[in-house]
Amino acid sequence: MQTESPPLAAATATQVARIVVAGHVDHGKSTLIGRLMYDLGLLHQSKIDDVVAASSRRGVAPEWSYVLDSLQEERDQAVTIDTTRIWFTHRQRRYTIIDAPGHRQFLANMLSGASEADAAILVVDAAAGIGEQTLRHAYLLAFLGIRHVIVALNKIDLLDDARVRYGELSAQLRDALRRTPPVAVIPVSASRGDNVAARAATTPWYDGPTIVDALEAVRRVAPPVQRPLRIAVQDVYRRDGARIVAGTVAGGTVASGDPLVLLPADVPVVAHRLVRWPDGDVAGAAAGETIGVVLDGERFAGRGDVLAPPLDRPQVAQRLVLEMFWVDVRGPLQNERLRLKRGTQDVPVVVDGTPSAYDIEEARTLGAAGDAQHNIVTLQVRATSPVVFDRRADDPHGARCVLLRGSRVAAIGFTIDAADASGDGGGPVTLVERERRSGRRAAIVWLTGLSGAGKSTLARAAERELFERGIAVSVVDGDLLRSTLNTDLAFSDEDRAESVRRAAAVAGILAETGHVVIVSLISPFVSDRARARDAARHPFYEVYVNAPLATCEARDPKGLYRRAREGAIRSFTGIDSPYEPPASPDLELRTDTLSVPEAAAELVAFVDGVTAPSR
Ligand SMILES: Nc1ncnc2c1ncn2[C@@H]1O[C@H](COP(=O)(O)OS(=O)(=O)O)[C@@H](OP(=O)(O)O)[C@H]1O
Ligand SMILES: Nc1ncnc2c1ncn2[C@@H]1O[C@H](COP(=O)(O)OP(=O)(O)O)[C@@H](O)[C@H]1O
């Protein structure tokens, strides 16, 4: 894919501007581009002679649209051209002119990222006036988030009352283009060159910019490195005790030591170190790179999360307005379940309300989205968990998203904004809202240890104390799960892995309601506990409830050790099934030396500390 590197690049060019030229062929698009090449002195004299000769043979004034066709065949010009792009340099600035062919192909190119335009020239035939084509192009430019639109009101030389007509048309155009108000409406004659590069004597009443002036005023849309920092989290690894958050820098730059915010959880973090494979530690990274971020402390992060600067953060919402180019055969239905992919996020969504479609051929909005294929659909969706996104108006690049129906791409487009949730009861309550109300961070506190070590006793004692302090807390106890959810499981290694997985899932559901969840489960294997931690979408802390086997066996609160020694129970942890203690737990409680109140107080103090709102 060719985006930024034209085959002809002037070494001295310092700036780039990418301009998309839209408009019906008959409205003079090719003529304007050809004339622009001529006026900027980019054509060889031989080429100019060819155009003049060919035109005079047909008895017409020089036809500048010929230039484009004939340049296609030649490679030694100051202009380089392929089917949809033209590159040239003017006054130290490198221009890419992107021809907008059929609107579907144009949309597909722009949406796939093959092109990103800084500005658009919309060519409108002044004699023909504003037709469907113009409305369609105006809509598409707004859809693509192109904000710098220059209107070339062409064929002004054919009008008797050019001044009056210009006044009328520019008012109508400003109305038609209200979503992206034009920066200039320029009366031009592409064939005569009026107001293309030189101010025309024929339009003394016009004191605005020429096409070339307007092009020079185009500001480049910020390249990815100059956009706000966005790191899309792909995965989280544990290595040598550290948690490494691996992600793609989707925009901006990051340096080690930068304060960041982890979204959607809204947790302040510090990019303690940055690592790149296989180089190891690096000082910084920029857009386009894949990087490992070692966060300070024991932080939870998962695929789909986003790291951003605290003062320039993206939006977070569960209800969103999307504008999508619909590619699937069938349009979206109210209440239909789809999936929204954005960066590394992939979340189930439900279509809210009635989507509406803009019919591109007809250049008008339809009430419903039944005939949505190859049209633009505006819809509102409700996600099952918070979505981190940029608004198209803030950054069209960061706002790109895809809707999937099953595994098929149904639509490609943009996140527009958070939907107003006030209309119908406010939508699902989010974790952020719950945490704001409870004044506590949800967390999973995972107690592991031998049977009889004291997990249940301490979990219940801590639960009581935290509850008394007004903290939303609940306990997920292995014993209870074994008699309810897990009645199909025994104590083989596989069944224990499954029991740990289920307990983690239940804890996750409870934590999502804003609770501090204390899990008490033997969970004897390091690998199962690591999986639980990695699957967790909330801060996760491992607590080792440690008492020597002899102590546990002496306690034998349920007589299970005795039965295990007698051979009545098989695969009993500590007897004929292993227990792997955590190598570096977040907290260790020695219940053989501490009393129940002492151990419980330590656990409460720990939970209190890690769920405090300031963290
Ligand atoms: N073979 C064997 N091994 C270990 N434990 C056994 C066994 N058979 C029954 N029990 C009782 O089941 C409780 C442990 O269940 P867990 O779900 O916590 O175990 S695991 O995490 O799936 O390994 C455990 O509860 P606690 O004593 O509260 O830990 C025992 O009461
Ligand atoms: N410091 C302590 N912490 C927790 N339990 C203790 C402690 N000291 C003695 N115990 C006793 O040990 C037993 C632990 O049983 P339990 O909490 O059911 O363990 P687990 O849930 O780990 O199987 C209880 O009878 C409890 O009174």
Write out residues with Cβ below 6 Å of ligand 2.
449, 451-458, 520, 545, 555, 557, 591, 594-596, 599
Contact 149, 122 (CB under 8 A): yes
Instruction: Say what the pLDDT of residue 382 is.
Output: 93
According to the model, what pLDDT value does residue 115 have?
Answer: 60
Tell which wins on pLDDT, 113 or 430: 430
Angle at 569 between CA 565 and CA 570, to 5 degrees: 95
**Predicted ipTM > 0.85:** yes
Q: Is the pLDDT of residue 158 over 80?
A: yes
Q: What is the pLDDT of residue 427?
A: 59
Question: Which of 102-111, 230-239, 330-339, 490-499 has the least mean pLDDT?
Answer: 102-111
Is-contact 319 386, C-beta < 8 A? no
Decide: 454 and 596 in contact? Cβ < 8 Å. Answer: yes
DSSP 118: S
Catalytic residues: 523
The pLDDT value given to residue 27: 82
- Could you tell me what percent of the chain has a pLDDT over 90? 54
State how far the Cα of 502 lies from the Cα of 486, in Å rounded to an integer: 8
Alpha carbon separation from 573 to 28, 127, 493, 556 (Å, rounded): 82, 88, 11, 13
- Give burial (CB, 10 Å; 0-12/13-18/19+) of 396: buried
pLDDT of residue 11: 40
pLDDT score, position 193: 93
Closest by alpha carbon to 157, among 119, 193, 114? 193
The better pLDDT of the pair 542, 160 is held by 542
pLDDT digits (tens, 9 = 90+) for 546-587: 999 999 999 999 999 999 999 999 999 999 999 999 999 999
* pLDDT tens for each residue of 69-92: 777 666 556 667 666 788 888 888
Specify the pLDDT at position 74: 63
Task: Give residue 460's region: left, alpha or beta (phi > 0; psi -120 to 50).
Answer: alpha
C-alpha 452 – ligand 2 centre gap (Å): 5
> Which tens digit of pLDDT belongs to each residue from 375-410?
889 999 999 889 999 998 888 888 999 999 998 999
Which residue from 493, 573, 577, 580 has its CB within 8 A of the most atoms of ligand 1, so it is best to mutate? Answer: 573
For residue range 489-528, list pLDDT tens digits in order. Answer: 999 999 999 999 999 999 999 998 999 999 999 999 999 9
| Closest by Cα among 439, 449, 381, 375 to 415 | 381
Q: Tell me if 574 CB under 6 Å of ligand 1.
A: no
pLDDT digits (tens, 9 = 90+) for 441-478: 899 999 999 999 999 999 999 999 999 998 999 999 99
pTM of the model: 0.62
C-alpha 241/C-alpha 229 separation (Å) is 27
Q: Which residue has the tokens 């958050």?
A: 245
Instruction: Give the pLDDT score at 273.
Output: 92
The whole-number pLDDT of residue 10 equals 39
Over range 322-329, report the average pLDDT.
91
